[in-house]
Chain A
Amino acid sequence: MSGFFDIPSDLQHSWLGLVGLHLREALLPVLAGLVVSLPLAQLCVRLRWLYPPVLWVTTVLYAIPSLAFFVLLIDYTGQTELTVMIPLTVYSLVVLVPAIVDGVRSVPPETLAAATAMGFGPVRRYFQVQLPIAVPAVIAGLRVATVSSISLVSVGALIGNQGALGNLINDANIYNRPELAVNAVLSMAVLAILADALLVAVRLLLTPWMPRAGRRRPAADVPDPATAALEDAVR
């Protein structure tokens, strides 16, 4: 009888190795998504007419199943991590772009007027006023994107060994070892919860200026991203 953490040799990783791989495949796309979303969202804020089409495009992209993406990409990027991470990056946009747009738009008009009147140029105003005030909204978006990405990485198993912890589910089938599937699900859930907690901590650190009335019942007003992600995982 093999143990819970005995990983079949075809995966060429220890359990911790899989965890590391999983985190890399899940988090790099979110980071890339953030890098793309920030300027895109700022364009949408400045050019109002651009926002609806951008929102439409990101939603349509999100509706493309990952398998279809793999089929398209595999000719160019092969059976690599990159083939998994590109769709994940695209998926993160559907959450991040509106989150950043809403965040930047939530800056009160009188705050913006005051900044302009005090002699802030547009660039300085963006980095010193709008972006810092948008931090809570941006991090709320990052939480959903991160947790969803962690669960979505497992589809990489479809193109060979690129699903990290997700490959365990496949192996559970091949080797008739159901505990590997349980391991995969539990490990991903724990990773998602830890990543989410880390982002909450970052937000608390970055926003000492926010009213802390909600401390007694944290995140009661935010839909739990872990739940959303588990629903996503079915895709």
Chain B
Amino acid sequence: MFGVLIRIDSVTKRYPDGTVAVDRLSLEIPDRSITVLVGPSGCGKTTTLRMINRMVEPTEGTILLDGQDILQQPVNTLRRSMGYVIQNAGLFQHRTILDNIATVPRLLGWGKDRARGRARELMERVGLDAALAKRYPYQLSGGQQQRVGVARALAADPPVLLMDEPFSAVDPVVRKGLQDELLRIQAELGKTIVFVTHDIDEAVKLGTMVAVLRTGGRLAQYAPPAELLSAPADAFVEDFLGADRGIRRLSFFPATGLALLTTPIVAVDATAEQIAARATGEAPYLLVTDLDGRPLGWSEPHELTAGSIDPGRLLSHGRPFVPGTDSLRAALDCAVLSPTGWAVAVGADGRATGVVSQQTIAEAIRGAHAAVPTDAPAPHSLAKGGPADAKVAG
């Protein structure tokens, strides 16, 4: 169980014109985990984030950092102890990549060489080529700029990282890469990250805890993502989660427990005897693999002629899943992608390790549901379930 690092205590932000951006919001943000604030535009998520580093001052309520009121230390000291990543990166266009990353260490009074050395380390950490060090921001792609933004935020090794829709301005492929990278970095560094997004999929993928805010700055639900998907607090949350939350929830169940069949697999150079031996009736199809054991496609046993198997005429096998790392969602996806209704499991090396039918997957899903009570009420608390326990790469 993690401790609480940031405690937001019935905070309200009311603007002079009477607009209420945040309304009596209370949140306990756990240490060393990713807490996502998600909601439609105008729900006060960015305002909430900016109150944590005092770019916006709350009208009422208090925010405690590590038990201490954030108003008690000088504002710039507070800000330098929190990394900040923003949409479009907000890099300093007039400074080189290296000097951009070295900004906060320099503000903290580090020498130039030490700050740049640290910046080089971080470039490596976030997956940036060292050759980019002397470049200027305009010479980088959007995804690279965003990596620089993350590196810059991490430069002074702050315990807290505030991220304001950092990945929403890049294309989906790059965004997925950045998200995976963030999870990897987080696994290494264990920061307390507060992450704002309007994208519920991003929230579910990244969040240890997810706070769904509704328009007008009120908290709708605060729960781990699996709980959010299985037991949305009300119609607003359910609506916000979208139509296929049942399918998406399967991301949280590992595919390790599936009973794989290893018999109905033949190599492309199989003899007639081998084909006959494998066609035991356990499955109506045989999976044909190449000589290395990588899946090529499905076929009915009687369609296969030993010595002249044409890989082009096989039925497609969908995207194979890796039982150790993938979830039931990936397994189900593989099964429904193939006209045969069977999913192919592969090892990390891409070689087929077994096959499994939709029926077996469906039974596993029922089993998973039975293990986790889905209709339990979801209170607005984080007392339930330690963060990161049910997290599966999905």
Contact = CB atoms under 8 A, between A and B. Distances in A.
A111 B90 contact: yes
A35 interface: no
A206 to B, nearest CB: 9
Contact of B84 (A108, A114, A129): A114
A121 B76 contact: yes
Interface string A189-232: 00000000000000000011111000000000000000000000
B104 interface: yes
Contacts of B179: none
A113 B104 contact: no
Interface string A118-129: 111100100001
Contacts of B162: 117
Interface stretch (B91-99, B114-122, B365-373): B91-99
Contacts of B94: 129, 132-133, 135, 207, 209
A209 B93 contact: yes
Contacts of A14: none
Given A133-B93, A209-B93, A120 B107 contact: yes
Contact of A117 (B79, B92, B136): B79
B86 A110 contact: yes
A183 B75 CA distance: 62
Interface residues of B, number: 30
Contacts of A173: none
Contacts of B95: 209
A80 interface: no
B93 A117 contact: no
A96 B80 CA distance: 35
A235 to B, nearest CB: 37
A119 B93 contact: no
A118 B138 contact: no
Contact of A116 (B55, B103, B136): B55
B295 interface: no
Contacts of B104: 118-119
Interface string A66-99: 0000000000000000000000000000000000
Contacts of B136: 208-209
B76 A119 contact: yes
Contact of A118 (B87, B96, B103): B103
Contacts of B152: 118
A116 to B, nearest CB: 6
Contacts of A211: 138
Contact of A113 (B55, B76, B82, B138): B55
Contact of B107 (A111, A119, A207, A210): A119
B79 A116 contact: yes
B103 to A, nearest CB: 6
A118 B104 CA distance: 6
Contacts of A114: 84, 86, 89-92, 149
Contact of A129 (B53, B92, B138): B92
Find the residue from A110, A116, A119, A210 having the highest chain B CB count within 10 A. A119
Contacts of B107: 118-120, 124
Contacts of B186: none
Contacts of A207: 94
Contacts of B137: 209
Contact of B91 (A111, A112, A119, A121): A111
B88 A118 contact: no
A215 to B, nearest CB: 14
B157 to A, nearest CB: 14
Contacts of B86: 110, 113-114, 117
Given A118-B103, A209-B136, A113 B90 contact: yes
B77 interface: yes
A113 B46 CA distance: 12
Contacts of B91: 111, 114
21 contacts: A110-B90, A111-B92, A113-B90, A114-B92, A117-B53, A117-B162, A118-B79, A118-B80, A118-B84, A118-B104, A119-B75, A119-B76, A119-B78, A119-B79, A119-B104, A120-B76, A120-B107, A207-B94, A209-B136, A209-B138, A210-B138
Q: Which 6 A-B pairs have the closest CB atoms?
A: A114-B90, A110-B90, A117-B84, A119-B79, A119-B80, A119-B76
Given A111-B90, A117-B55, 15 more contacts: A110-B87, A110-B88, A111-B92, A112-B90, A113-B55, A113-B86, A114-B89, A115-B92, A118-B104, A119-B76, A119-B80, A120-B76, A124-B107, A129-B92, A133-B94
